[in-house]
Amino acid sequence: MKPILKARILIVVTLLSFSHISQAQQYDVLLKGGHLIDPKNSVDEKMDVAILDGKIATVALQIPEDKAKKTIHAQGLYITPGLIDIHTHVFWGTKPDAYISNSYTSLPPDGFTFRAGVTTAVDAGSSGWRNFRVFKEQTIDRSKTRILAFLNIVGSGMKGGPIEQNLGDMDAKLTAMMVKEYPDLIVGIKLAHYYGPEWDPLDRSVEAGVLADIPVMVDFGGHTPHLSLETLLMEKFRPGDIFTHCYANVRGRTSVVDENGKVRPYVVAAQKKGIVFDVGHGGGSFLFTQAIPALAQGFKPNSISTDLHTGSMNGGMKDMLNIMSKFLNMGMTLNEVIKTATWTPAMVIKHQELGHLSVGAVADIAILNLRIGQFGFLDVRNWKMNGTQKLECELTLREGGVVWDLNGMSMPKWEDGTRNK
Ligand SMILES: [Zn+2]
């Protein structure tokens, strides 16, 4: 055979074998051997998950390793949709005297989300219609975490002090107009920190919510004189509106559990009619004296969220998985806890494309380790509850790419490498 012909045949054979490989490797990433919990799809068993182009391509009992360019072994671990935290404060900036709105009390999200399995964080009203665009440029456009937002009914957002008491800066129409400019990013209206005796801020928030067809989230309390929790839950709120900080017991707000340790009947009735009870743990809004009796009586949260900011990050709150672990140790099942941090919050914010791992969905995924041992958990007044279960995030994928890998489970061993060491 002539050398040239021989070379040509070799090239053809090589090309054929490469095309064979690329055809066989039809997936980018395969998560193999893990226990999949996907509450939307009622999946709670060992399943393999294959990813292509940042989306879920196949979910099956067995997917062969040779069909994927990269296989990540997840034996003994739980695979869940990327977590959705619907109460955070991430409008970080350096404005003086601006509390949590473009200032120091808010946090850059990527350093707090992925390590806890969170792939979507919703800012809870740090910005209003006047400064939402600044928030978008500074945080939303620059974060790897998917950032969505509740827009504050106060036009200037959550700048603290008298700015949040200004009825003259609470305009339902202008707020709804801004929502309509960014319908993919703004998911709700937020009302917080209003201490006056009127219902006007709440009524205007609901008006904006009706105009934009989105829910209202309320941080209720501190009103002088007192405003009725029953009126808020049973008359003012629409089904789908959100009562955050639900296990708090703060000055000027009726708690969900009464002085005798009983959940108030109208609270149970409100949840039944569709009011959303959100944890919003924060630095001052989660007490075991509320949560433990509530859980014992079957009153569980609809959504678990952090209320992440500098005042909560290093206290009893810590991160999303620490709060989820508290609810596990208070008696909720792992499946329930995962649902309150994935599919339910996705429905609450009307983003049903998120919070599940259906074929075609974005490959935002958390791989969790459920550790068994002796652990302690703190509430916001530093009372401790002991527990035996603790969730830890091993791996987080955002649109199919690794964004957090605690123990390097997705990476090759250094001694197997061929590059310069
Ligand atoms: Zn908050």
The pLDDT tens digits for 195-248 are 999 999 999 999 999 999 999 999 998 888 899 999 999 999 999 999 999 999
Residue 191 Cα to ligand 1 midpoint, Å, equals 10
Q: What is the CA(399)–ligand 1 centre distance, in A?
A: 27
Residue 2 three-state SS: coil
Name, in order, each residue with C-beta under 8 angstroms of 49's C-beta and a sequence gap of 6 or more.
30, 31, 34, 36, 56, 58, 59, 63, 79, 357, 365
Task: Give the separation between CA 341 and CA 300, rounded to whole angstroms.
Answer: 13
Ligand 1 centroid vs 308 CA: distance in angstroms? 7
Token match 């569709």: residue?
274
Distance CA 118, CA 111 (A): 11
- Ligand 1 centre and the CA of 148: distance in Å? 14
Residue 336 Cα to ligand 1 middle (Å): 24
- β-bridge partners, 85: 121
For residue 310, the CA-to-ligand 1 centroid distance in Å is 11
Q: How far apart are the CA of 218 and the centre of ligand 1, in A?
A: 10
What span, in angstroms and rounded, lies between the C-alpha atoms of 62 and 203?
Answer: 53
β-pairing verdict for 27-32 and 68-73: parallel
20: helix, coil or strand? helix
| pLDDT tens per residue, range 68-96 | 999 999 999 999 999 999 999 999 999 99
Ligand 1: centre distance to CA 261 (Å): 26
| pTM for this model (two decimals) | 0.94
Q: What is the pLDDT of residues 11-25, one digit of tens each?
A: 444 444 444 445 578
pLDDT of residue 252: 87
Distance from residue 280's CA to the centre of ligand 1 (Å): 7
> Within a 10 A sphere around the Cβ of 113, how many other Cβ atoms?
33
Task: Measure 70 CA to ligand 1 centroid, in angstroms.
Answer: 40
Q: How confident is the model at residue 100 (pLDDT cuts 50, 70, 90)?
A: very high
pLDDT value, residue 17: 44
| Of residues 390, 319, 358, the one with CA closest to residue 51 | 358
Nearest-angstrom CA–CA distance, 278 and 86: 8
Number of H helices, E strands in the chain: 11, 17
Residue 222: count other Cβ atoms within 10 Å of its Cβ. Answer: 16
Q: What single-letter amino acid sits at 301?
A: P
| Alpha carbons 29 and 71: distance in angstroms, whole number | 6
